[in-house]
Amino acid sequence: MEFGICFKGFVEPKRAIALVRQAENAGFTYCWFYDSHILWRDSYVAMAMCMEHTEKMRFGPCVTNPNSRDWSVAASLFGSLAKQSGDRFDVGIGRGDSAVRVMGKKPATLARVAEFTEVLRKLIKGEEAQYGECPEPVQFPWAVGHEPPMWIAAYGPKALATAGEVGDGLILQIADPGICKWLGDQAKAAGEAAGRDMSKFRIMAAAPAITGDKTHGRELVKWFPAMVGNHVADIVEKYGSDTDLVPASLTSYIEKRRGYDYSKHGQSDNPYLDFITDDVVDSFTVLGATDEHIAKIRALEAAGVTQFNIYLDSGDEEKVIADYAEKVIPAFNG
């Protein structure tokens, strides 16, 4: 099991440096950043800074999308960070949520996500690529052959199929082992159907984790199921609530959902949290004493998850890292 942390772009620079140093020393091997340039500061500036203060930790967006930047700009940025960090860069890709919806724009189609993924691969590696917005082929004369892993974020059946068909890994914003297994199996089956070798396909469960009192922890992370619900609502709108294309346990909890405020995306003061029950919070996140964290992550591992990525922005960040360093991560290194 790999362990990661994930930041929004509001962490003050000196504290971000301290947290990534602490996390790397604790055994975390990944640091991810939200890529939502209006709600928070640009994430890639922070990544470059944090890379300079770590030695082995890998970095990447969780997630970027095809619609925020010209594709050659995105590829140049990612290739530069891969080279600058000594090949410590991954790319997480989605359709685009808060980064584009906050501007009133629509997320990208899945066909566009797939094409974006392949164009990034080619350009970062140093190969020639052509894409819709650019009438002439593009090639970076300075590219040196980096091939960062491409992770695709997904929930719905077509998105899961895209992840399996073109991704190196799958990002799931949820920590329920049963749901993770169901979704992961769909992605792997799609990859196998496309003739891909899925033996090294990776699956990330990204969710908040708070060690200590559960009642206190639930209040700190209640924003997370609401954020997940926003994605699930898109699936229900497209396929209906009775669909067998996604688990009933993933769709049933949003029946009382009233809306979502993108200006409060991923924040505890989002006004649309009243439909979230304690059971949902416990299912979607990782809470309680460290032995409960170990048990939950073992269940995720048994469900096929290969990385647990903590959204490290719910409070007590230093304590969570310290508790994982002392108790949780050592339980998976033996």
Q: Are 4 and 306 in contact (CB under 8 A)?
A: no
Spell out the alpha helix ranges (H) of the chain: 13-26, 43-51, 71-84, 98-101, 110-125, 157-166, 177-193, 214-221, 223-239, 248-251, 278-284, 290-302, 317-323, 330-333
Q: Sign (positive/negative) of CA torsion 151, 157, 162, 165?
A: positive
Cα 107 to Cα 97: distance, rounded to the nearest angstrom: 6
The bridge status of strand 202-207 relative to strand 169-172 is parallel
| Helix, strand and coil in the chain, % to nearest 5 | 45, 15, 40
DSSP codes, 71-88:
HHHHHHHHHHHHHHTTS-
DSSP 326: I
Instruction: Spell out the per-residue pLDDT of the chain, length 334, in tens.
Output: 999 999 987 899 999 999 999 999 999 999 999 999 998 899 999 999 999 999 999 999 999 999 999 999 999 999 999 999 999 999 999 999 778 888 888 999 999 999 999 999 999 999 999 999 789 999 999 999 999 999 999 999 999 999 999 999 999 999 999 999 999 999 999 999 999 999 999 999 999 999 999 999 999 998 898 888 766 777 777 777 777 777 877 777 666 565 645 454 555 555 555 668 898 899 999 999 999 999 999 999 999 999 999 999 888 999 999 999 999 999 998 6
pTM: 0.92
